[in-house]
Structure 1
Amino acid sequence: MSDPVTYHHLGPADMSLLLRVPEGVFDNPIDPIQAAAFLGDPRHEMVLALVNGSPVGMGSAVIMLHPDKPPAGFINEVGVLESHRRQGIASALCAALFTRLRGRGCHGIWLATEHDNIAARALYMHLKGRETTEIVVYDWDGAMDAEAGSGSGTGKTTS
């Protein structure tokens, strides 16, 4: 029997916990300056999955505001250590983010992933997401390049 997974919503006081996330959960090493900015911004949301107090997965999101629309939630990234995949952790992380975003007034939640990211697409279909085909993504300054660090918002996932 495996150890139970708990979920913790991060706030500004959780920097030490965030810095304990092992390699393989995020796309790149955590940058403490960016981590502090993320945790300090009230529009950013992050949930960690913990086993015996140690991080094994995370989900992050941002609340997007616009003058003529209600708030929308964007799921930045979901990542789970390879050793803990296919146990429902990614689904639970997404569900926790959905609840948090809806509770904060978001009237829509969305994300994007690569067409060939079969694991992510299976997860989002399992969560009853509607796959759209009408959107085209453009980027500038390498925003979608994984090595640039900002391509992580394309749904690196795994269940």
Structure 2
Amino acid sequence: MDKEIVTIVELNAENWYECCTLEVSEEQTRFMESNAVSIAQTKFEPTLKPYVIQYEGKTVGFLMFNSVKEELDGYWVYRIMVDKNFQGKGIGKKATELMIEEIMKQPKANKIIVGYHPENIGAHQLYEGLGFVDKGDRFGKEMAVVKAL
């Protein structure tokens, strides 16, 4: 799939509501908050950077990362989701690659961390395929995987 078909654009007044209507599959709902909750979180934590994932110009997903380093001295990914109707097309992987490019623009970006529930097989496959490594770090019910830049 061409990266140009998948783009990420900053969340804004024109695309936030459409982003709130996106849904993951029923079995994935136990692993993440709704996009509306994540968008609300950005209003209280201004270092969080929300983006809409677009596929051929259509809003199909949402992602969010922190623009300041946190635990494990890295930039944390807070959310990556693709609507259930667009999963399985490689959109999540391309969007994650684009997000990594954005994170690499941050000051002293040398590490990206993602936390997810160990039973979330889709997340595990995505991050492992992009070079994230499980070094045994755990935060509550979530495992944290690390990608060195």
TM-score (norm 1): 0.67
**Partner residue, 2:29:** none
Deviation at 1:27, TM superposition (A): 3.2
**How many residue pairs align between the two structures?**
132
**Partner residue, 1:56:** 60
Aligned equivalent of 1:103, options 105, 108, 116: 105
Question: Runs of 4+ in structure 1 displaced over 4 angstroms?
Answer: none
**Partner residue, 1:131:** 134
Q: Is the 8 A contact 1:48 1:93 kept in 2?
A: no
Where does structure 2 lack aligned partners over 5 or more consecutive residues? 25-31
Larger Rg over CA atoms: 1
Deviation at 1:57, TM superposition (A): 1.1
Taking the TM superposition and a 5 Å limit, the aligned residue runs for 1:82-121 are: 82-105=84-107, 106-121=109-124
Q: Taking every aligned residue pair, what percent have the same amino acid on both sides?
A: 12
- The structure that is strand-richer by fraction is 2
Where does structure 1 lack aligned partners over 5 or more consecutive residues? 139-143, 145-150
CA RMSD of aligned residues (A): 3.3
Deviation at 1:16, TM superposition (A): 2.4
Output the CA distance in 2 between the equivalents of 1:55 and 1:7: 10
